[in-house]
């Protein structure tokens, strides 16, 4: 069981025992080594997703069919356990918004760096006084944050508690020996219970599952984030203003803009970072921008977690 989230990283016992006396408010996990390795290769080598995936497969870090990893499902399954251990409620994979890394481009990596961010696939759980956020998606985080420096196949779980504050637990998330240490820890726990009580019976989550309540998971449309937006726009006057006008009508204010290659091509990339807004408002604004044909192709967006 200990190996089921962070491989060799002892996060199960940490949440179940060491942090049991605190109230956890948020959990942010880099819990899929394949995705983290791919994003690290894209960032460090300047290659696109397909080349980074092929490199990961050649190194044995990605399966021949990597869909479960790169589409975020593996991370979502692990987030179910993290939410239960951190907040004491049961959540099912179907309740977790899940988005993978297949649409991340080298352009997104470069613009993120210019804006001061790194892109990571995060499993995010938050407890807002009983309203649970549970979501997996590519996320821009400040490049100065500890999670931004977790590279390659390493995993990391960053936790916010009311009393303890922020702590992070990092190490190898897969591999024979890291996983073996976690398996042996489970065996030793069972053996100790047998010696102490004459029984191997233990509660994996620290108390009986039948006592747990189902989680009330916040709809993704109600989640509030900052956003990175990437548009492919015609290189002509008024386009930037038209985009900003639509965003403004839906309550999205612009924090910064990057516009490059003016005068060099018929279409140019327009990059915007917004302030906090509900995702419902963002989706409605992007749908209107696309409908009015202000931009050449479907806008891309990545959620930003500025204050982890």
3 state SS for 222-268? HCEEEEEEEEEEECCCCHHHHHHHHHHHCCCCEEEEEECCCCCCCEE
Which of the following is catalytic: 78, 120, 126, 218? 78
**Domains of the chain and CATH, by start:** 3-175+213-218 (3.30.360.10), 221-304 (3.30.70.260)
Torsion of CA 228, 234, 238, 242, to 10 degrees: -50
| Cα separation, 155 vs 264, whole angstroms | 42
Q: Which two tokens stand for residue 189?
A: 């726990």
pTM: 0.93
pLDDT tens, the chain, 308 aa long: 999 999 999 999 999 999 999 999 999 999 999 999 999 999 999 999 999 999 999 988 899 999 999 999 999 999 999 999 999 999 999 999 999 999 999 999 999 999 999 999 999 999 988 789 999 999 999 999 999 999 999 999 999 999 999 999 999 988 889 889 999 999 998 888 888 876 656 678 877 788 888 889 999 999 999 999 999 888 788 888 999 999 999 999 999 999 876 656 678 889 999 999 999 999 999 999 998 888 888 899 999 999 99
| Residues 6 or more apart in contact with residue 301 via CB below 8 angstroms | 227, 228, 229, 230, 282, 286
**Whole-Å CA distances, 225 to 231, 270, 272, 275:** 19, 20, 14, 8
Q: Is position 78 annotated as part of the catalytic site?
A: yes
């Amino acid at each position: 069981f200990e190996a089921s989230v962070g491989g060799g990283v002892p996060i199960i016992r940490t949440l179940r025992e060491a942090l049991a006396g605190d109230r956890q408010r948020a959990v942010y996990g880099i819990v899929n080594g394949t995705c983290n390795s791919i994003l690290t290769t894209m960032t460090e080598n300047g290659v696109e997703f397909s080349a980074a995936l092929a490199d990961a497969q050649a190194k044995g870090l990605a399966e021949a069919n990597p869909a479960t990893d790169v589409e975020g499902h593996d991370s979502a399954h692990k987030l179910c356990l993290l939410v239960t251990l951190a907040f004491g409620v049961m959540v099912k994979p179907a309740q977790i918004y899940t988005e993978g890394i297949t649409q991340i481009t080298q352009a997104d990596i470069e613009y993120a760096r210019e804006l001061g961010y790194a892109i990571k696939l995060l499993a995010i759980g938050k407890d807002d006084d009983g309203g649970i956020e549970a979501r997996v998606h590519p996320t821009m985080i400040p490049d100065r944050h500890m999670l931004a420096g977790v590279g390659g196949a390493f995993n990391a779980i960053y936790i916010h508690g009311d009393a303890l504050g922020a702590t992070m637990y990092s190490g190898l998330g897969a591999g024979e020996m890291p996983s073996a240490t976690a398996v042996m820890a489970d065996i030793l726990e069972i053996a100790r219970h047998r010696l102490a009580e004459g029984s191997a019976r233990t509660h994996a989550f620290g108390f009986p599952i039948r006592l747990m309540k189902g989680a009330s998971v916040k709809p993704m449309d109600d989640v509030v984030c900052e956003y990175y937006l990437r548009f492919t726009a015609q290189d002509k006057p008024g386009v930037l203003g038209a985009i900003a006008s639509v965003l403004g009508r839906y309550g999205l204010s612009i924090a910064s803009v990057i516009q490059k290659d003016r005068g060099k091509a018929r279409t140019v990339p327009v990059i915007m970072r917004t302030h906090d807004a509900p995702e419902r408002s963002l989706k409605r604004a992007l749908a209107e921008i696309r409908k009015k044909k202000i931009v050449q192709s479907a806008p891309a967006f990545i959620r930003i977690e500025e204050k982890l």
